[in-house]
Amino acid sequence: MFVLVEMVDTVRIPPWQFERKLNDSIAEELNKKLANKVVYNVGLCICLFDITKLEDAYVFPGDGASHTKVHFRYVVFHPFLDEILIGKIKGCSPEGVHVSLGFFDDILIPPESLQQPAKFDEAEQVWVWEYETEEGAHDLYMDTGEEIRFRVVDESFVDTSPTGPSSAEATSSSEELPKKEAPYTLVGSISEPGLGLLSWWTSN
């Protein structure tokens, strides 16, 4: 689920931080810049692990700050495909079951990846697994807040860097705002035995 990623960045330290230890100032600046941010095709940055190398620091004309090229390792949330994770159901919609890990919410289990047969209860706004037994079908509800075990089957990165408006967008109405996309999303599946709500597979 978590990986160590080697990164390189140039860190700017303002003059009023020169009295501090350089490593402490750099660690603070790196966490301020990266923590809880998604790096494209890398994952969700969590925290600095360590600094492996500091190159020479430079002060440029007109800028009293120091600029140091830093080699470091960062803890990143980036589960591998087919990894099994446990989260909580954040909500349900016709698009599927939305799952949260507490620190990461952009996880969707689409309808075709649920235990089958499944149906969406419009009144309750919840997905239901119509579990077949010898006595007939039993409705097992996927309620909000329930713990759910799922398999990661796909991931998607979206470059959300700001871009200038195109000529077509400039002439469109200001009311038609584009839908904000999540920079990093996971797609899960519970369509196999042992996956789904933990309560389904625990014996009383």
The answer to whether 116 and 59 are in contact (CB under 8 A) is: no
**What is the tens place of the pLDDT at every residue in 119-136?**
888 888 889 888 877 776
Which residues touch 33 (CB under 8 Å, ≥6 apart)? 9
170-192: per-residue pLDDT in tens? Answer: 444 444 555 677 889 999 999 99
Look at the alpha carbons of 96, 101, 106, 73 in this order and tell me if their dihedral is positive or negative.
Answer: negative
Own/partner pairs, 123-127, CB within 8 angstroms, 24+ separation: 125/91, 125/92, 125/93, 126/92, 127/92, 127/96, 127/97
**Spatial distance between the Cα atoms of 193 and 196, rounded to a whole number of angstroms:** 8
The tokens for 86 are 């446990």
**Residue 74 · residue 34 · CB < 8 Å:** yes
pLDDT of residue 164: 61
Provide the pLDDT for residue 9: 93
Please compute, for residue 101, the number of CA atoms within 13 A of its CA located in the half-sphere on the CB side.
20
CA 53 to chain centre: 28
Give residue-wise pLDDT tens across range 134-148: 776 788 888 889 999
SS3 of residue 198 by DSSP? helix
Cα–Cα separations (whole angstroms), residue 168 to 67, 165, 176, 178, 180: 41, 8, 12, 13, 18
- For the chain, domains (ranges, CATH) are 2-77 (3.30.1490.120), 83-163+174-200 (2.40.50.140)
Digit-coded pLDDT (tens) for 75-107: 999 999 999 999 999 999 999 999 999 999 999
For residue 162, the tally of other CB atoms under 10 A from its CB is 4
* Start-to-end C-alpha separation, the chain: 30
pLDDT tens digit sequence for 30-76: 999 999 999 999 999 999 999 999 998 888 888 888 999 999 999 99
Q: Is 47 helix (H, G, I), strand (E, B) or coil?
A: strand
